[in-house]
Amino acid sequence: MNVEVNFMAMILAAVSSMAIGFLWYSPMVVGTQWMKLKGYTKESLRRAQSEMGKLYALSFVVAIVTAFMLSHVMALSENFYGYPKLQTGITTAISMWLGFIMPVQMTSTIFGEKKWALFGIDTGYQLASMLTMGIVLGLL
């Protein structure tokens, strides 16, 4: 089976994932609680953000990889189940999060002695990110 890759859709999915991340971790959503749980002050976070350009770039590259892999799994699912493309994007995103992302984050929380509230915030973002990418890929 050949999978046609829509590179523009992948880029848009990655951009949308980053936008969701900026919104999710903003003070308007969970940013204030996340800062407290991580032990950041506004000043320390501001200092850290001034040096995060490379990390944001790397995060964008990883988002492109995720979008690429999600589009391939979506193609397989679409051919197997015959769902419409948007439905395939949503169900595949949820399945990938539930089967791979959330369990890895939970294991890291359990054995890394991390705070469960951070797990909820971070895995919630991952679900929102995957859904957004699945919707973008499903629409384009």
Sort residue 44 into left (φ over 0), alpha (ψ -120 to 50) or beta.
Answer: alpha
At 12 the pLDDT is 97
Q: In the prediction, which pLDDT does 59 show?
A: 95
DSSP string across 60-78: HHHHHHHHHHHHHHHHHHH
Can you tell me the distance from the alpha carbon of 94 to that of 70, in angstroms, rounded to the nearest whole number?
Answer: 11
Q: What is the value of pTM for the model shown?
A: 0.90
pLDDT score of 80: 80
8 A C-beta contact, residue 21 and residue 125: yes
Mean pLDDT by runs of 10 across the 140 residues of the chain is: 83 97 95 92 82 90 96 87 90 96 97 94 98 96
**Residue-level pLDDT at 105:** 97
- Extract the tokens encoding 87: 């439905």
| CA distance linking residue 40 with residue 124, whole number of Å | 20
Collapsing DSSP to helix, strand or coil, 113 comes out as coil
Tokens describing residue 108:
């890291």
Helix 85-96 vs helix 53-81: crossing angle, to nearest 10: 120
